[in-house]
Amino acid sequence: MRKLLKFIVILVVVIVVVAMGSVAYITQAMPHVPVPADLHVEATSARVVRGEYLANHVTVCMDCHSTRDWNKFSGPVQPGTLGKGGEVFDRSMNFPGRFVSKNITPFNLRKWSDGEIFRAITSGVSRDGHPFFPVMPYPYYNKLSTEDVYSIIAYLRTLPEIPSQPEASQADFPMNVIMHTIPEPAHPMSLPKPTDADYGAYLVNAAGCRECHTKMENGKAVGEPFAGGFEFHFPGGSVLRSANITPDQSTGIGAWDRDTFIRKFRQFADSSYVPTAVDWKAGDMQTVMPWTMYGGMTEQDLGAIYDYLHTLKPVANHVQHWSPAGE
Protein backbone atom coordinates (compact mmCIF):
# COMPACT_ATOMS: atom_id res chain seq x y z
CA MET A 1 0.00 0.00 0.00
CA ARG A 2 2.83 2.37 0.89
CA LYS A 3 4.58 1.56 -2.37
CA LEU A 4 1.39 2.30 -4.31
CA LEU A 5 0.90 5.60 -2.47
CA LYS A 6 4.53 6.53 -3.10
CA PHE A 7 4.14 5.72 -6.79
CA ILE A 8 1.01 7.87 -7.05
CA VAL A 9 2.73 10.80 -5.33
CA ILE A 10 5.74 10.53 -7.64
CA LEU A 11 3.46 10.29 -10.68
CA VAL A 12 1.51 13.39 -9.63
CA VAL A 13 4.75 15.31 -9.04
CA VAL A 14 6.07 14.31 -12.47
CA ILE A 15 2.82 15.35 -14.15
CA VAL A 16 2.84 18.71 -12.35
CA VAL A 17 6.49 19.35 -13.23
CA VAL A 18 5.93 18.43 -16.89
CA ALA A 19 2.81 20.60 -17.05
CA MET A 20 4.57 23.56 -15.46
CA GLY A 21 7.53 23.09 -17.77
CA SER A 22 5.26 22.99 -20.81
CA VAL A 23 3.45 26.15 -19.75
CA ALA A 24 6.76 27.88 -19.08
CA TYR A 25 8.09 26.87 -22.50
CA ILE A 26 4.96 27.97 -24.34
CA THR A 27 4.75 31.34 -22.60
CA GLN A 28 8.47 32.09 -22.78
CA ALA A 29 9.56 30.60 -26.11
CA MET A 30 6.42 31.19 -28.16
CA PRO A 31 4.98 32.54 -30.38
CA HIS A 32 7.38 31.41 -33.11
CA VAL A 33 7.34 34.45 -35.36
CA PRO A 34 10.28 36.40 -36.80
CA VAL A 35 11.49 39.64 -35.27
CA PRO A 36 9.93 42.72 -36.91
CA ALA A 37 11.31 43.41 -40.36
CA ASP A 38 13.51 46.46 -40.82
CA LEU A 39 11.30 48.31 -43.24
CA HIS A 40 10.17 51.82 -44.05
CA VAL A 41 6.78 52.23 -45.68
CA GLU A 42 6.70 55.18 -48.04
CA ALA A 43 3.41 56.96 -47.45
CA THR A 44 2.47 57.68 -51.05
CA SER A 45 -0.90 59.24 -51.73
CA ALA A 46 -2.03 56.06 -53.48
CA ARG A 47 -1.16 53.96 -50.44
CA VAL A 48 -2.93 56.31 -48.04
CA VAL A 49 -6.09 56.26 -50.16
CA ARG A 50 -5.99 52.48 -50.48
CA GLY A 51 -5.27 52.07 -46.77
CA GLU A 52 -8.16 54.34 -45.82
CA TYR A 53 -10.49 52.25 -47.97
CA LEU A 54 -9.28 48.96 -46.52
CA ALA A 55 -9.18 50.02 -42.86
CA ASN A 56 -12.63 51.62 -42.96
CA HIS A 57 -14.55 49.41 -45.38
CA VAL A 58 -12.88 46.00 -45.90
CA THR A 59 -10.65 44.91 -43.02
CA VAL A 60 -12.57 47.45 -40.91
CA CYS A 61 -9.74 48.04 -38.43
CA MET A 62 -11.51 51.23 -37.40
CA ASP A 63 -14.57 49.24 -36.35
CA CYS A 64 -12.92 47.79 -33.23
CA HIS A 65 -10.35 50.52 -32.68
CA SER A 66 -12.87 53.36 -32.33
CA THR A 67 -15.85 54.03 -30.07
CA ARG A 68 -19.08 52.58 -31.42
CA ASP A 69 -22.50 53.92 -30.45
CA TRP A 70 -24.34 50.79 -29.36
CA ASN A 71 -27.56 52.74 -28.81
CA LYS A 72 -27.86 53.01 -32.60
CA PHE A 73 -28.35 50.16 -35.04
CA SER A 74 -25.12 48.49 -36.13
CA GLY A 75 -23.07 50.52 -33.65
CA PRO A 76 -21.76 53.28 -35.96
CA VAL A 77 -18.44 54.86 -35.03
CA GLN A 78 -18.82 57.98 -32.93
CA PRO A 79 -17.31 61.08 -34.57
CA GLY A 80 -13.92 62.10 -33.21
CA THR A 81 -12.98 58.63 -31.95
CA LEU A 82 -11.39 57.12 -35.07
CA GLY A 83 -8.56 54.89 -33.94
CA LYS A 84 -8.56 55.85 -30.25
CA GLY A 85 -9.17 52.26 -29.08
CA GLY A 86 -10.87 51.27 -25.86
CA GLU A 87 -13.61 48.98 -27.18
CA VAL A 88 -14.08 46.15 -24.67
CA PHE A 89 -14.71 42.47 -25.38
CA ASP A 90 -15.18 40.74 -22.04
CA ARG A 91 -16.72 37.86 -20.12
CA SER A 92 -20.20 39.38 -20.34
CA MET A 93 -19.88 38.76 -24.09
CA ASN A 94 -18.57 35.19 -23.58
CA PHE A 95 -14.92 36.07 -24.18
CA PRO A 96 -12.26 34.23 -22.13
CA GLY A 97 -11.01 37.35 -20.42
CA ARG A 98 -11.18 41.10 -20.90
CA PHE A 99 -9.76 42.32 -24.19
CA VAL A 100 -9.45 46.02 -24.96
CA SER A 101 -8.59 47.45 -28.37
CA LYS A 102 -5.46 49.56 -28.63
CA ASN A 103 -5.07 53.18 -29.67
CA ILE A 104 -3.86 52.99 -33.29
CA THR A 105 -3.54 56.72 -33.89
CA PRO A 106 -0.03 58.22 -34.05
CA PHE A 107 -0.43 59.13 -30.37
CA ASN A 108 0.47 55.50 -29.69
CA LEU A 109 1.87 54.22 -32.98
CA ARG A 110 4.61 56.85 -33.21
CA LYS A 111 6.47 54.58 -30.78
CA TRP A 112 6.13 51.67 -33.21
CA SER A 113 8.30 50.97 -36.24
CA ASP A 114 6.66 50.07 -39.54
CA GLY A 115 8.00 46.55 -39.12
CA GLU A 116 6.37 46.24 -35.70
CA ILE A 117 3.01 47.39 -37.07
CA PHE A 118 3.35 44.97 -40.00
CA ARG A 119 3.99 42.07 -37.62
CA ALA A 120 1.09 43.10 -35.36
CA ILE A 121 -1.36 43.15 -38.28
CA THR A 122 -0.22 39.94 -39.95
CA SER A 123 0.94 37.81 -37.02
CA GLY A 124 -0.91 39.24 -34.02
CA VAL A 125 2.20 39.99 -31.98
CA SER A 126 2.76 43.26 -30.12
CA ARG A 127 6.01 45.18 -30.21
CA ASP A 128 7.08 43.63 -26.88
CA GLY A 129 6.49 40.11 -28.23
CA HIS A 130 3.25 39.19 -26.47
CA PRO A 131 0.43 37.73 -28.59
CA PHE A 132 -2.94 39.33 -29.21
CA PHE A 133 -6.19 37.49 -28.65
CA PRO A 134 -7.65 36.80 -32.12
CA VAL A 135 -10.77 38.89 -31.66
CA MET A 136 -8.52 40.87 -34.00
CA PRO A 137 -8.71 38.48 -36.96
CA TYR A 138 -5.00 38.42 -37.69
CA PRO A 139 -5.16 34.77 -38.86
CA TYR A 140 -7.01 36.26 -41.86
CA TYR A 141 -4.94 39.45 -42.15
CA ASN A 142 -1.99 37.06 -42.24
CA LYS A 143 -2.83 36.43 -45.90
CA LEU A 144 -3.24 40.04 -47.02
CA SER A 145 -0.96 41.12 -49.82
CA THR A 146 2.17 42.85 -48.57
CA GLU A 147 1.25 45.98 -50.50
CA ASP A 148 -2.18 46.14 -48.86
CA VAL A 149 -0.61 45.91 -45.40
CA TYR A 150 1.81 48.69 -46.38
CA SER A 151 -1.20 50.78 -47.43
CA ILE A 152 -2.92 50.26 -44.08
CA ILE A 153 0.27 51.26 -42.26
CA ALA A 154 0.60 54.39 -44.40
CA TYR A 155 -3.01 55.34 -43.63
CA LEU A 156 -2.71 54.78 -39.89
CA ARG A 157 0.23 57.17 -39.81
CA THR A 158 -2.07 59.93 -41.15
CA LEU A 159 -4.79 59.63 -38.48
CA PRO A 160 -5.23 62.61 -36.15
CA GLU A 161 -3.64 61.91 -32.78
CA ILE A 162 -6.13 61.15 -30.03
CA PRO A 163 -4.68 61.10 -26.50
CA SER A 164 -5.98 57.84 -25.08
CA GLN A 165 -4.36 54.99 -23.17
CA PRO A 166 -6.76 52.03 -23.03
CA GLU A 167 -6.22 49.50 -20.27
CA ALA A 168 -4.20 46.37 -20.98
CA SER A 169 -6.03 43.22 -22.02
CA GLN A 170 -6.22 40.26 -19.66
CA ALA A 171 -6.83 36.67 -20.80
CA ASP A 172 -8.14 33.97 -18.49
CA PHE A 173 -6.36 30.65 -18.02
CA PRO A 174 -5.86 28.56 -20.15
CA MET A 175 -6.40 31.10 -22.96
CA ASN A 176 -3.45 33.15 -21.69
CA VAL A 177 -1.30 30.11 -22.56
CA ILE A 178 -3.12 29.04 -25.73
CA MET A 179 -2.73 32.52 -27.22
CA HIS A 180 1.02 31.96 -27.52
CA THR A 181 0.44 29.08 -29.95
CA ILE A 182 -1.77 30.97 -32.42
CA PRO A 183 0.46 33.56 -34.17
CA GLU A 184 2.25 32.51 -37.36
CA PRO A 185 4.60 34.27 -39.76
CA ALA A 186 2.85 36.21 -42.52
CA HIS A 187 1.70 34.18 -45.54
CA PRO A 188 0.91 37.01 -47.98
CA MET A 189 -1.20 36.35 -51.04
CA SER A 190 -0.73 38.18 -54.29
CA LEU A 191 -3.42 40.81 -54.77
CA PRO A 192 -5.62 39.51 -57.60
CA LYS A 193 -6.86 41.85 -60.28
CA PRO A 194 -10.52 42.84 -59.88
CA THR A 195 -11.26 40.85 -63.03
CA ASP A 196 -9.69 37.66 -61.65
CA ALA A 197 -11.96 34.87 -60.43
CA ASP A 198 -10.22 34.71 -57.05
CA TYR A 199 -10.57 38.43 -56.32
CA GLY A 200 -13.78 37.81 -54.37
CA ALA A 201 -12.07 35.12 -52.29
CA TYR A 202 -9.32 37.60 -51.41
CA LEU A 203 -11.88 40.17 -50.23
CA VAL A 204 -13.87 37.61 -48.24
CA ASN A 205 -10.67 36.65 -46.41
CA ALA A 206 -9.68 40.28 -45.83
CA ALA A 207 -13.13 41.10 -44.44
CA GLY A 208 -13.13 38.07 -42.14
CA CYS A 209 -16.53 36.87 -43.39
CA ARG A 210 -15.81 33.25 -42.50
CA GLU A 211 -14.79 34.22 -38.97
CA CYS A 212 -18.21 35.56 -38.04
CA HIS A 213 -20.43 33.47 -40.30
CA THR A 214 -19.31 30.05 -39.06
CA LYS A 215 -20.72 28.59 -35.86
CA MET A 216 -18.03 28.24 -33.20
CA GLU A 217 -17.88 26.70 -29.74
CA ASN A 218 -14.91 27.25 -27.46
CA GLY A 219 -12.92 28.67 -30.35
CA LYS A 220 -13.51 25.71 -32.67
CA ALA A 221 -15.72 25.59 -35.75
CA VAL A 222 -18.66 23.25 -35.17
CA GLY A 223 -20.77 24.39 -38.12
CA GLU A 224 -20.29 24.43 -41.87
CA PRO A 225 -18.19 27.35 -43.12
CA PHE A 226 -20.27 30.47 -43.89
CA ALA A 227 -23.51 28.74 -42.80
CA GLY A 228 -24.04 31.16 -39.91
CA GLY A 229 -25.02 30.56 -36.32
CA PHE A 230 -22.03 32.21 -34.61
CA GLU A 231 -23.35 33.64 -31.35
CA PHE A 232 -22.58 37.18 -30.23
CA HIS A 233 -23.55 37.77 -26.63
CA PHE A 234 -24.37 41.33 -25.62
CA PRO A 235 -24.05 42.60 -22.04
CA GLY A 236 -27.49 42.12 -20.52
CA GLY A 237 -28.19 38.75 -22.08
CA SER A 238 -29.30 39.42 -25.66
CA VAL A 239 -27.86 37.06 -28.27
CA LEU A 240 -27.25 37.74 -31.97
CA ARG A 241 -26.54 34.88 -34.39
CA SER A 242 -24.81 35.42 -37.70
CA ALA A 243 -26.62 34.80 -40.97
CA ASN A 244 -26.19 31.88 -43.34
CA ILE A 245 -24.39 33.37 -46.36
CA THR A 246 -24.04 30.17 -48.38
CA PRO A 247 -26.07 30.03 -51.62
CA ASP A 248 -28.80 27.86 -50.12
CA GLN A 249 -32.09 28.88 -51.72
CA SER A 250 -34.25 28.87 -48.59
CA THR A 251 -31.97 29.59 -45.62
CA GLY A 252 -29.03 31.39 -47.25
CA ILE A 253 -28.54 33.96 -50.00
CA GLY A 254 -29.19 31.63 -52.93
CA ALA A 255 -32.37 33.50 -53.90
CA TRP A 256 -30.60 36.88 -53.90
CA ASP A 257 -29.48 38.35 -57.19
CA ARG A 258 -26.27 40.37 -57.45
CA ASP A 259 -27.98 43.77 -57.34
CA THR A 260 -29.98 42.85 -54.22
CA PHE A 261 -26.80 41.80 -52.44
CA ILE A 262 -25.01 45.02 -53.37
CA ARG A 263 -27.98 47.21 -52.38
CA LYS A 264 -28.18 45.46 -49.00
CA PHE A 265 -24.78 46.93 -48.18
CA ARG A 266 -24.85 50.19 -50.10
CA GLN A 267 -28.07 51.40 -48.45
CA PHE A 268 -26.04 52.05 -45.30
CA ALA A 269 -23.63 54.30 -47.19
CA ASP A 270 -26.38 56.44 -48.68
CA SER A 271 -26.19 60.05 -47.50
CA SER A 272 -29.86 59.87 -46.49
CA TYR A 273 -29.32 56.90 -44.16
CA VAL A 274 -29.80 57.67 -40.47
CA PRO A 275 -29.11 54.84 -37.98
CA THR A 276 -32.20 53.95 -35.99
CA ALA A 277 -32.13 54.09 -32.20
CA VAL A 278 -31.96 50.78 -30.34
CA ASP A 279 -34.14 50.38 -27.26
CA TRP A 280 -32.38 47.66 -25.30
CA LYS A 281 -35.11 47.45 -22.65
CA ALA A 282 -37.73 46.87 -25.32
CA GLY A 283 -35.67 44.03 -26.81
CA ASP A 284 -34.86 45.81 -30.08
CA MET A 285 -32.53 43.87 -32.35
CA GLN A 286 -28.91 45.01 -32.50
CA THR A 287 -26.05 43.72 -34.62
CA VAL A 288 -22.26 43.73 -34.43
CA MET A 289 -22.15 43.73 -38.23
CA PRO A 290 -20.66 47.16 -39.08
CA TRP A 291 -23.02 47.85 -41.98
CA THR A 292 -22.11 51.52 -42.20
CA MET A 293 -18.46 50.55 -42.72
CA TYR A 294 -18.87 47.60 -45.08
CA GLY A 295 -21.46 49.67 -46.94
CA GLY A 296 -18.60 51.88 -48.12
CA MET A 297 -17.17 49.10 -50.28
CA THR A 298 -17.35 49.70 -54.00
CA GLU A 299 -20.05 47.99 -56.02
CA GLN A 300 -17.29 46.17 -57.87
CA ASP A 301 -15.88 44.71 -54.65
CA LEU A 302 -19.29 43.82 -53.25
CA GLY A 303 -20.14 42.14 -56.54
CA ALA A 304 -16.92 40.12 -56.39
CA ILE A 305 -17.82 38.97 -52.87
CA TYR A 306 -21.29 37.96 -54.08
CA ASP A 307 -19.79 36.00 -56.97
CA TYR A 308 -17.43 34.15 -54.64
CA LEU A 309 -20.10 33.32 -52.06
CA HIS A 310 -22.19 31.78 -54.83
CA THR A 311 -19.40 29.33 -55.61
CA LEU A 312 -19.69 27.84 -52.10
CA LYS A 313 -21.55 24.65 -51.23
CA PRO A 314 -25.16 25.50 -50.32
CA VAL A 315 -25.87 24.59 -46.70
CA ALA A 316 -29.42 24.35 -45.40
CA ASN A 317 -29.22 25.96 -41.98
CA HIS A 318 -32.03 28.07 -40.59
CA VAL A 319 -30.72 30.60 -38.08
CA GLN A 320 -32.72 32.37 -35.39
CA HIS A 321 -30.93 35.68 -35.68
CA TRP A 322 -31.97 37.39 -32.45
CA SER A 323 -32.92 36.42 -28.92
CA PRO A 324 -33.72 39.34 -26.59
CA ALA A 325 -32.52 39.16 -23.01
CA GLY A 326 -34.50 36.63 -21.02
CA GLU A 327 -35.57 34.48 -23.97
Phi, psi of 100 (to 5 degrees): -125, 130
Pair type for strands 239-241 and 322-323? antiparallel
Distance CA 264, CA 269 (A): 10
In whole angstroms, give the CA distance from residue 200 to residue 183. 25
**DSSP 8-state code for residue 92:** G
Closest CA to 301 of 30, 50, 27: 50
Amino acid making up residue 235: P
Q: What is the residue-level pLDDT of the chain in tens, covering all 327 positions? A: 555 555 454 544 444 444 444 444 445 545 668 788 899 999 999 999 999 999 999 999 999 999 999 999 999 999 999 999 999 999 988 889 999 999 999 999 999 999 999 999 999 999 999 999 999 999 999 999 999 999 999 999 999 999 999 999 999 998 888 889 899 999 999 999 998 889 999 999 999 999 999 998 877 888 999 999 999 999 889 999 999 999 999 999 999 999 999 999 999 998 889 999 999 989 999 999 999 999 999 999 999 999 999 999 999 999 999 999 876
Name the pTM for this structure: 0.90
